[in-house]
């Protein structure tokens, strides 16, 4: 999965320089991908404003006010 992801991002000229973090915790890229897929994929998650649900699925801090926005940006 990671090799395909890195190649995909490099091919679209947006290489992954480093693994993103939510809070002080490194994001498991496979887990975020599966969480978004489980909720219906990117368009549905965005359209239904489910990014906070993705954040919660990743075990994020419940008090974060920018959780949804940060999670979406990292996914993108």
- The residue among 27, 37, 20 whose CA lies nearest residue 58 is 27
- The tokens for 64 are 């974060």
Q: What is the pLDDT of residue 66?
A: 86
CA distance linking residue 39 with residue 41, whole number of Å: 6
In a domain? residue 33: yes
In a domain? residue 62: yes
- Structural domain boundaries, residue 32: 21-75
Overall pTM > 0.85: no
- The residue among 52, 46, 50 whose CA lies nearest residue 76 is 46
- Contact (Cβ atoms closer than 8 angstroms) between residue 54 and residue 32: yes
pLDDT greater than 80 at residue 63: no
In a domain? residue 45: yes
Domain count, the chain: 1
Q: What is the pLDDT of residue 60?
A: 80
Share of the chain above pLDDT 90, in %: 64
Q: What is the pLDDT of residue 13?
A: 94
In a domain? residue 3: no
Q: Domain of 41: which CATH number?
A: 1.10.150.60
CA distance linking residue 31 with residue 58, whole number of Å: 7
Q: What is the pLDDT of residue 51?
A: 94
């Amino acid at each position: 999965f990671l090799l395909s992801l890195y190649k995909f991002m490099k091919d679209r000229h947006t290489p992954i320089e480093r693994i993103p973090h939510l809070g002080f915790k490194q994001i498991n890229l496979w887990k975020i991908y599966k969480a978004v897929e489980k909720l219906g994929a990117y368009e549905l998650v965005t359209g239904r404003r489910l990014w906070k649900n993705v954040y919660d699925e990743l075990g994020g801090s419940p008090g974060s006010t920018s959780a949804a926005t940060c999670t979406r940006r990292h996914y993108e």
